[in-house]
A = this chain, B = another copy of it.
Amino acid sequence: MTSLTRRALLQASALAATTAALPAHAAAPLATTQAPGVYRYRLGDYQLTALYDGVWQSPIGDDFIRNADAAAVDDALAAAFLPPRVLPISFTALLVNTGAKLVLIDTGTGGQTADSAGALPDALRAAGIAPAAIDTIVISHFHPDHIDGLRSKTGERIFTNAEILVPEPEWAFWMDDGNQSRATGTVFRYFRNARRIFGDLGSAVGRFTPGDEVAPGIVSIPAYGHTPGHCAFAIHSTGRSMLVMSDTVRNPYLFARYPRWQPIFDMDGAQAVASRLTLLERAAADRMLVAAYHFPFPACGHIARRGDGYELVPAEWRPL
């Protein structure tokens, strides 16, 4: 068996050189785009749809984790069969159809984070849903990759009929001119971006107190640290519950496995770790279905304890 396997591998390596010269005339040309990332699942009477927006292959520096060295991060990436020094940050928004309302939690990047992201409108179209049909948009926090999908690159609103709900402490922090005046670099750009996205929306933006129910069966959960007003959500329908972790846990190979790591993305590293550990332990202890914006699409599954940390056990794709 072993020798045959080895032979097959060597044999085909030699053959590969010859096959490259064949004329290209398959009946179907190579596709130029990925299939739309749309995945539906059920929670009680609700239908959830994971909508894939794309990925940003983010180069990371030696200081990416405040309390771990670069070699440890590269080891974690290698365990996920990922190359060193680059973190794939994928984006998957969650659409909740309660039967009575279409609620979208976070909005994708609007094509304004990376060329390889911005596909959420295509995914929504593939799901058979017009942007104008969305009733409510719930925002977890004001980082651009969560809010930029509210507008096109040229500023037009995408979800023209939706009420927009944001965490009150998030609004208070990012829309405060004093806070902006003290910000620099990337964070300063986030302040400016929040004004670009929300500035002229006025009463279209509702603010909720973390802990409030924001839509039928969707309850916000304060999970501060990543940003000052960052929220997770619990969704409940007919006796079933799930936890939407938002950015409490980002790439699971890093931040579920090593939940105490403090990435530079987390504005208050220690507070973010406390939120992360609380939600991970709750999910693991209660064997809750979870979703998170930066998990690999379809960005849902369960959390299991593993070593000193946790791991994501992805939900298996299945028919509805």
Residues of A within 8 A of B (CB): 1-2, 4-5, 7-9, 11-13, 15-16, 19-20, 22-28, 30-40, 44-45, 47, 49, 52, 54-55, 79-81, 88, 90, 97-102, 116-117, 119, 126-130, 132-135, 210-211, 213, 216-223, 234-239, 241, 274-275, 278-279, 282, 287, 296-298, 301-302, 304, 313-320
Contact = CB atoms under 8 A, between A and B. Distances in A.
A22 B100 contact: yes
For this chain, the copies found in one complex come to 2
Contacts of A287: 81
Contacts of A81: 287, 301-302, 304, 313, 315
A245 to B, nearest CB: 11
Contacts of A239: 16
B40 A38 contact: no
Given A275-B1, A282-B5, A296-B317, A100 B26 contact: yes
Given A26-B100, A81-B302, A31 B320 contact: yes
Contacts of A8: 211, 219-221, 234
Given A213-B12, A219-B8, A133 B241 contact: no
Nearest to A27: B133
Given A22-B216, A38-B35, A213-B15, A296 B319 contact: no
Given A222-B1, A241-B9, A279-B5, A31 B47 contact: yes
A278 B2 CA distance: 6
Contacts of A279: 5
Counting chain B CB atoms within 10 Å of each CB, the highest count among A28, A80, A117 belongs to A28
Contacts of A32: 320
A229 to B, nearest CB: 13
Contacts of A235: 12
A15 B316 contact: no
A28 B296 contact: no
A319 B54 contact: yes
Given A8-B221, A28-B97, A133-B28, A20 B45 contact: yes
Nearest to A54: B319
Contact of A15 (B55, B217, B221, B222): B217
